[in-house]
Amino acid sequence: MTPTRLQLQRWQALTSEQQQSVLALHIPPEQIEFAGTMAQAVAVGEGASPDEVAGLAVFQTEVPVGFVVLCRGSRLPAWAPTGAVALRAMRIDSREQGKGHGRHALALVEAWLGEHWPVCPLLALCVDDQNLAARRVYEMAGFTEYTEPKAGRIGLVRYLSKSLEEAGSA
């Protein structure tokens, strides 16, 4: 089954109605424990330079199915390698999970980075060890561990990265 085409749109470019629809994405409590709420994800970009933080809504046709937050420069978290872009948040509506949207959204993020932030050679993220579904999606997308896992808020945290240089030169 081929997933329906997805697209990314910057948070700031969304209408008020679209923003409310993104904030209303259903994230189950067990995933909020790992990744936080939609409001927390959106708040990462509030007041930040759009050159350092990009909140990107994931749309299927006209309906939001997810949201990602990318950070770089002075907004790069301490755990991310210097010069990388950090994937700080990735949320897919629970009613849309299992349809390939996460994998497709990651591919769109790579393409977006190649177009908007092409000088960034690496995409990095951290994921809770117990978040097996997310770990599986990241592994399938080509992410690998770049350092040892560390104790986090609710258990071990794994640190993954993926080179963007091959994607930019293809």
Q: Is residue 21 part of a domain?
A: yes
Of residues 152 and 159, more confidently modeled: 159
pLDDT higher than threshold 80 for residue 95: yes
How far apart CA 82 and CA 80 sit, in angstroms, is: 6
State how many domains the chain has. 1
Q: Is residue 159 part of a domain?
A: no
pLDDT higher than threshold 70 for residue 104: yes
Q: Is residue 99 part of a domain?
A: yes
What is the domain range of residue 114? 6-121
Q: Is residue 152 part of a domain?
A: no
Q: Is residue 113 part of a domain?
A: yes
Q: Is residue 20 part of a domain?
A: yes
pLDDT > 90 fraction of the chain, expressed in percent and rounded: 66
CATH of the domain at 90: 3.40.630.30
Per-residue confidence (pLDDT) for residue 4, from 0 to 100:
63
pLDDT higher than threshold 80 for residue 165: no
| Alpha carbon distance, N-terminus to C-terminus of the chain | 26
pLDDT higher than threshold 80 for residue 25: yes
